[in-house]
Structure 1
Amino acid sequence: MGKPQTEVVSIYGNRLRLRVCGLFREGNRLLMVRHRGLGPANTFWSPPGGGVEFGETAPNALIREFAEETGLDVAIGELLFVNEFVAPPLHAVELFFAVQRIGGSLRKGIDPEMRPDDQLIDEVRFMGFDEIKEQSPEKIHALFRYCSSLEDVFQLRGYLHY
């Protein structure tokens, strides 16, 4: 296991983690974050998001995570679906919200839980759905397995599990 994966397991492993994720669309593209050192391929694309801290509401956590990871200020919309990821030692329950941009400038952000020389965020950019689906399954969030279009992503409801 590479150094980033070892650090991820030491920080997030062997406990349940509540995460919030935001689906932000511009035209026919979705904002995505590429993380290094995650998953079997050591690279992983997913919508922006992160952990909820004790005493923090889910919407406030997502506003904070968007600012940290993308530089964007967002308004939180509807809770769309819940995804549960169980792959010991990692276990996360993810709440996916629709978000709208209200300010800020898009940039590659940081993950404050990680040391400066071990940052996970590699890239932040908008991707078309075809480009998302071209990624091998281990390099992309599992939610996309349930979808055949960007519209499908925003129609997902209920509980997903992988």
Structure 2
Amino acid sequence: MPLPRLAARAVIVEDGRLLLVNAYADAGSTLWCAPGGGVEAGTSLPENLIREVHEETGLTIRVGPPCLINEFHAPSTGFHQVEVFFRCTLVSGTLSDDWRDPEQIVTRRRWVTEAEMGDLRIKPDSLARVAFQRGMGYDPLEEIVGP
């Protein structure tokens, strides 16, 4: 069985809205998540997160404290990911439909209010609660959901 993959994700709330990106490259997917991604060995979680957020959104961020740990897996494949979410602030940039993720995974980005999150498919389940409240969260092993 492969080792768990480590990822870092950004919880960015500006003007009462949380930044979300599409979770799968499949344009038909309705699943949204916080920006971020896999960690490269030899660089810190914040360094990885700054890089990933810029690649996916074109935004520059400042990384703050951790606020959520989430882990999920796909029992059929053995895939297991542990994600560390950090409270982040926007330093510069604006969202643009013209921005291109070099990995071609993130194609949609949007700011949403807590109320709007109720109408969306979002993972992890606790993201809205953690984003709009203070404190730390932990989501134990969830089964992965598809596009």
TM-score normalised to the size of structure 1?
Answer: 0.73
2: distance between equivalents of 1:43 and 1:61? 26
Q: Which of these residues, 111, 114, 117, is aligned with residue 129 of structure 1?
A: 114
Q: Which of these residues, 138, 144, 151, is aligned with residue 132 of structure 2?
A: 151
Gaps of 5+ in 1: 1-12, 113-118
More helix by share: 1
- Displacement of 1:130 in angstroms is 1.5
- Displacement of 1:120 in angstroms is 2.5
1: distance between equivalents of 2:45 and 2:131? 24
1: distance between equivalents of 2:19 and 2:46? 18
Q: Which of these residues, 116, 120, 123, is aligned with residue 141 of structure 1?
A: 123
- Which residue does 2:47 correspond to in 1? 60
TM-superposition CA deviations, 1:116-142 (whole Å, max 9, x none)? xxx32231110111111112xxx3112
How many matched pairs?
136
1: distance between equivalents of 2:65 and 2:100? 24
TM-score normalised to the size of structure 2?
Answer: 0.79
Q: Which of these residues, 124, 132, 139, is aligned with residue 160 of structure 1?
A: 139
List 4+ stretches of structure 1 deviating above 4 A: none
Percent identity over paired residues:
33
1:1-40 map, 5 Å: 14-37=2-25
2: distance between equivalents of 1:128 and 1:103? 21
